[in-house]
Amino acid sequence: MFSGSPRSFWLDSSLVEPGRSRFSFLGDDQGPLAEFVRYDVGAGRCEIERAGRPMRRVRASVFDYLKRQLSNRRVDATGLPFDFTGGYVGYFGYEMKADCGSSNRHRSPAPDAAWLFADRVIAVDHEAGYTYAVCLAEDTPQAAREAADWLEGVLAGLSCVAAERPPLPGEPAPADPGAAEPWLVRDRATYIADIEACRRALRSGTSYEVCLTNAARLPAPPDALEFYRTLRRDNPAPYAAFLRFGELEVAGSSPERFLRIGRDGTAEARPVKGTAPRGDGPEEDARLRDALASDAKTRAENLMIVDLLRNDLGQVCRTGTVRVSKLMATETYATVHQLVSTVEGRLRAGTDAVDCVRACFPGGSMTGAPKLRTLEIIDSLETEARGVYSGALGYFGCGGGADLSIVIRTAVFADGLMHLGAGGAIVLGSDPDAEYEEMLLKTAAPMRALHRHTADRMRQQGPPGQKAGAAGEARR
């Protein structure tokens, strides 16, 4: 319904988890209230586009702009079971840290933040089996008629959706953790040297934990949406997403919630720190899962990030409400086991979802601790901007709620290239070779999806021809 739009979104609970990922949301920029906000953190300026109007430039942080707009467009949607009933969908890139107290050494070619105001949304309730069409409109007779027409058209379109799903393809081939290695921005020797530099900083006492990352850059497949459909099938995740924002597209299968803020002011973070591969059989899989849960080094990583998030939430939450409801639980996904904690709090009066995100950004699981000093260490070692990767992606609803993931296990498409970021936390107990292998492991899911998507496309095209060259290049 929205794939033909130049700007559209799919916040996709492709792996439904009770209490965490029940709803999916889809929409585009075709509504009468829709606007697209692009932000350059270096210039401190938002560019706002609305259909039929000249571009408007606002000298303000995108945090301040979103906060003001959401306040002006506040609606009461308490009759629905989900918080997103219209609002902004998009991302904050990692370099937004410059608006959160840390300077930037590197500049991203992508917008530092991009947000689409969606006034028409389809919401899918995977638990109850219902689909909702939601329309946010101005309180005028003309707007009411347009809203009714849109709802009628959407319901007619939804009635044509097949009730039965087609059979899914067979099980995907095992993930190859080394598939991205030829495409890395910093090779093995350089990355291991950077790990040693992190360890020197740790020994000197300037940091306790450094989240070091790398990136792979390779030719992009021609259809990012079809790639995403392969990714979500092979590696379903509770916070999966696809964004099409003009020339920039994002396809992710994130297992990590950054923050969820309810309409009642409750805030929840679910930091992931600690990753192990899946085993070849049930016994090996259980052994790897148990080893992750009991590993002292991994538990130290997780604990430091939990403490960091308690501090971050403490800046905006009522005294005494911040608590750790779940500490270091193991969760299993298609290619990895993860160690996950849950930190909760209740926002102070006069504080909203944008304030909470700003106080906690960037997510501690992508930085290390103490945050500001460690961000400086990261900038001195990494050779380019992280961009969308390591940032946050999701929605701010007009009813006051928000839900954002950490942008990991995600492919970013721009200028004919596919960008994959991956990394891991470096602590004193880190083994450089093991850290390098863990970094590669985190690229395995999108790389497997790329190979499968390319193979499927080649089969559909028949014998190799002129169009097969790019696919062959991407497989190399």
CATH number at residue 257: 3.60.120.10
| Residue 198 resides in a domain | no
| Distances from the Cα of 109 to the Cα of 41, 247, 385, 415, angstroms | 12, 12, 8, 10
pLDDT for position 471: 42
Q: Measuring CA to CA, how many Å separate 180 from each of 25, 129, 373, 411, 417? A: 31, 38, 30, 12, 14
Instruction: Supply the pLDDT for residue 91.
Output: 98
Q: Which pLDDT value is given to residue 17?
A: 77
Give the per-residue pLDDT at 463: 67
AA letter at 97: K
* Res 470: pLDDT: 43
Q: What is the pLDDT, as a whole number, of residue 469? A: 45
CB 374 within 8 A of CB 364: no
Question: Looking at 67, 209, 268, 273, which residue is catalytic?
Answer: 273
In a domain, 391, yes or no: yes
Active-site pick, 256, 268, 344, 438:
256
The reply to whether 78 falls in a domain is: yes
Residue 67 lies in a domain: yes
97 catalytic? Reply is no
Q: In one letter, which amino acid is 106?
A: H
In degrees, to the nearest 5, what angle opens at C-alpha 214 toward C-alphas 209 and 220? 150
- CA 166 to chain centroid, in Å, comes to 28
Instruction: Report the sign of the C-alpha dihedral through residues 214, 217, 221, 222, in that order.
Output: positive
Rounded distance between C-alpha atoms, residue 419 and residue 414, angstroms: 8
pLDDT < 50 stretches in the chain: 467-476
Nearest to 113 by CA among 50, 38, 205: 38
CA distance 401 to 26: 17
Range of the domain at 137: 7-161+173-184+217-265+381-421
Report how far apart, in Å, the C-alpha atoms of 100 and of each of 255, 340, 341, 355 are: 24, 25, 24, 11
pLDDT at 474: 43
Reply yes or no on whether 256 is catalytic.
Answer: yes
In sign, the C-alpha dihedral spanning 435, 440, 441, 442 is positive
Amino acid in position 7:
R
Does residue 196 sit within a domain? no
Residue 446 lies in a domain: no
449 found inside a domain: no
Angle separating helix axes 444-461 and 468-475, nearest 10 degrees: 150
Q: What is the pLDDT of residue 168?
A: 65
User: What count of other Cβ atoms lies within 10 Å of the Cβ of residue 188?
Assistant: 16
User: What total of structural domains would you count in the chain?
Assistant: 1
Confirm whether 429 is domain-assigned: no
